[in-house]
Structure 1
Amino acid sequence: MRKLKLIWDFHGPDAIKIAQHHEIHLKEYIQLEKLDITITGFETISNVHALAYLVVDEANMKPIRDALKPHRGQVYG
């Protein structure tokens, strides 16, 4: 099954801290909803651009996308 990476982008001088904090909220959502998602993270693109993400099975993507409203997505792997 194909996996998709749902991505939230953050820009500005606090982007890295915000992305790190957003990952905490993603993990809380996973736990609250009892989802079988094990891959989350954040990446620093530059000193003013960072992102947080989680990886979902394509079949389960739509309800998570609709609830969390990621900025974009891409095929994972």
Structure 2
Amino acid sequence: MRMLKLIWDFRGPYAEKTAEHHEIHLKDYIKTEQLNLNITGFQTINDMHAIAFMVVPENIMKPIRDALKPHRGQLYQE
């Protein structure tokens, strides 16, 4: 099963804190929807760009994508 990394981009001087906070909402969504997902996170790209992400199996990606509207996605590689 291919795994996909759904990504939300945040830019500006507060990007890191915003991405960190967004991960909390991703975890809340996983819990509320009772999804068996456990890979979320946030990453600082540079001082003005950070991302939050969630890794999902390809077969359940569409409803999650439609509900959460990530900015982009890519194949997940550990």
TM-score by length of 1: 0.99
Give the Cα–Cα distance (whole angstroms) in 1 for the partners of residues 76 and 17 of structure 2: 24
Q: Which structure 1 residue ranges, 5 or more long, are not aligned?
A: none
- The CA deviation at 1:31 is 0.2
Structure 1 stretches of 4+ with a deviation exceeding 4 A read: none
Instruction: For residue 26 of structure 2, give the secondary structure of its aligned residue in structure 1.
Output: helix
Question: What root-mean-square deviation, in Å, do the aligned CA atoms of Structure 1 and Structure 2 show?
Answer: 0.2
Deviation at 1:66, TM superposition (A): 0.1
Aligned residues: 77
Q: d(CA) in 1 for partners of 2:61 and 2:33?
A: 14
Any unmatched runs of 5+ in structure 2?
none
- 1:26 lines up with 2:46 in the alignment: no
Give the corresponding residue for 1:2.
Answer: 2
Please give the alpha-carbon distance, in whole angstroms, between the structure 2 residues aligned to 1:76 and 1:9: 16
TM-score by length of 2: 0.98
